[in-house]
Chains A and B, each alone.
Chain A
């Protein structure tokens, strides 16, 4: 003779989905903040070589990127098949290269100008000729800190 009736509830209670939007928004904001939109469209073939003894390039505001490689198919007719230099979104020839780099350095805040690193993204099939010319130009304008940007991997893979 029990006073209490135990109702057996057989169906499990539903999980509240009210906080789902909040969770999704949190993820959304995370990805929005870490996203870096690619700002350069590549006009040159740019498959970087591999290297194992590398160091990370931190502090993006101190880096100027230069792409070297032969023009992609679309530009082959107008630009030829020889390796070319690309900065920002344009092809740059060797004669104006030095002044373009100086311009890019001067766009940066003054206190950073002494710490600029030039990141050379060179296609692994390119020849050293143009790279040497670029290095010579960089010496002329006194931008001496460079980085041969590579993928992380076995350096011997570059040989095939």
Chain B
């Protein structure tokens, strides 16, 4: 009389160990990488070269093959680049009667420098021998100059930093209505200080 045997239970005691092994494997291989960097828009292939731009509205920045920096015909230190760029962009040299008058600029109103931020073009020229790291440092300083001015205006108009608004806009948690509002505000600040940065190769 054989009694009906039940199937033997599998011992689940080692389940935790197995799971731990897998866990440790994924822990080790995980790279939660979020890439970040400087965004740039290239000019289209047949965009016409800007015509009738006065010399005073261009800030020529030259980087030579020895990584030396020259702005407006003078060799300068990289640390001064941001201040020079800010002074150039924020100059607002057009007279108060002309249509180009910039009423929010706080610069020196030098007639030999840019008319208003909308007209001002920063032209960055590099050499084939320029080191990429140095090039990025210069780009970073230029973006910093724009962000500095944009933050100032955003603080004045909306009591919040421009960069903070952008970060908030990029977050996926931000509700749609808030995003639309932010987009409008970001656009308006970008209009005050549009980034006109031309990067050309020369020499």
For A83, give the chain B residue with the smallest CB separation: B132
Task: Tell me, in angstroms, the Cα distance from A37 to B28 when the chains sit together.
Answer: 11
B39 touches A145 (CB 8 A): yes
- A94 adjacent to chain B (CB < 8 Å): no
Query: Which residues of chain B come closer than 8 Å to A147, judged between CB atoms?
Result: 35, 37-40
Query: Which residues of chain A come closer than 8 Å to B131, judged between CB atoms?
Result: 124-128
Q: Which of these, B38, B39, B42, contacts A138 with CB under 8 Å?
A: B42
A94 to chain B, nearest CB (A): 13
- B50 adjacent to chain A (CB < 8 Å): no
- Chain A interface size band reads 35 or more
Count contacts between A and B, CB distance < 8 Å. 161
- Chain B interface size band reads 35 or more
Q: Which of these, A38, A53, A126, A127, contacts B31 with CB under 8 Å?
A: A38
Binds B, one of A5-13, A25-33, A73-81, A85-93: A25-33
A132 touches B126 (CB 8 A): yes
For A54, give the chain B residue with the smallest CB separation: B36
A148 touches B136 (CB 8 A): yes
B157 to chain A, nearest CB (A): 21
- B22 adjacent to chain A (CB < 8 Å): yes
- B7 adjacent to chain A (CB < 8 Å): no
A-B contact pairs, 15 of them (CB 8 A): A25-B19, A31-B27, A49-B132, A53-B140, A56-B170, A117-B39, A122-B132, A128-B128, A128-B129, A139-B43, A139-B44, A147-B39, A149-B36, A150-B36, A158-B137
Residues in chain B within 8 A of chain A (CB atoms): 12, 15-16, 19-20, 22-23, 26-27, 29-45, 63, 78, 126-137, 139-141, 143-144, 147, 166, 170, 172, 199, 201
